[in-house]
Amino acid sequence: MFLRSYRLFGAAVLLSFCVGGNLSAQSSADWEWMANHFDKALRDLFPIDQRYGVYVAYRSHRDLHTDVLEYSFLIGTEKSDTVSGLPRYLAAQVREAESASVYDQMMAQHRKFPNRSADDIQKDVHVKKLKLTEMDCPAIKVQFSKLQQTRVALPQFDVVIHHPLVHEFRIRAGDGDVDLTLYDNENSLVSWAIETRNILELCAANAIEPPTVK
């Protein structure tokens, strides 16, 4: 059996490693504080849910390795706010932690100002945001169509992954919804998401005009 494990082994073991920062200087109380508040910050700063419309959303972060920047994109249909009668088009909302991971930013602020609330600290977290449309990035439409042709393998029961890059998906379509979390980088849906991320980054870099910041 091929086994890979992904869960944390406990604060005592974690504090014996230095991964993505000076973890040895962080107390068990710091770890507990982050454990209580990081998930909410991730959901607030990298939303992958909206109340209506057809869309696919993706979010990633790395378990334990806090030097990996959190990231998300949401691709869905929109209508123009300025041009009446313009057909609906696809747009991508992209977010990425800026300079340091959200985890490291919050941990640094908490250790510096331990009496500040998590909600207050979250306001000072830096996240890059941009918007691309199929007009300035035609590949968005290609990737959106490609997703519908992707065949997804279900996770295997006998595989466990050490400290994975966590890939979260939320898909809202006309005939059903999908909420899925994957740890296998070789899964076809994960491959699609990584390819789409690379394409969005290329479109942003090659844009004649800077992408809209939302």
pLDDT digits (tens, 9 = 90+) for 24-82: 467 899 999 999 999 999 999 999 988 778 899 999 999 788 999 999 999 999 876 65
Residue 136, both tokens: 């300035």
Whether the Cβ atoms of residue 91 and residue 173 lie closer than 8 Å to each other:
no
Burial group, residue 154, by CB count within 10 angstroms (0-12, 13-18, 19+) = exposed
Return the SS3 of 169: strand
Question: Residue 1: which pLDDT band, with cuts at 50, 70 and 90?
Answer: very low
pLDDT of residue 15: 37
Q: Is pLDDT at 213 greater than 70 in this prediction?
A: no
Summarised one tens digit per residue, pLDDT across range 120-168 is 999 999 999 999 999 999 999 999 999 999 998 888 888 888 889 999 9
Q: Is pLDDT at 113 greater than 60 in this prediction?
A: yes
pLDDT of residue 12: 35
Closest residue by Cα to residue 94 from 125, 71, 123, 63? 71
pLDDT of residue 137: 95
In the block, tokens 């406990």 appear at: 10
175-203: average pLDDT: 95
Residue 123, C-beta contacts closer than 8 angstroms, at least 6 positions apart: none
Whether the Cβ atoms of residue 144 and residue 98 lie closer than 8 Å to each other:
no
How many CB atoms are closer than 10 A to CB 97? 23
- Highest mean predicted confidence (pLDDT) among 6-15, 186-195, 199-208: 186-195
Measured CA to CA, the distance from residue 185 to residue 167 in angstroms comes to 8
pTM of the model: 0.82
DSSP per-residue letters across 144-193:
HHHHHTPPPPPPPTT---SS-EEEEEEEEETTEEEEEEE--TTSHHHHHH
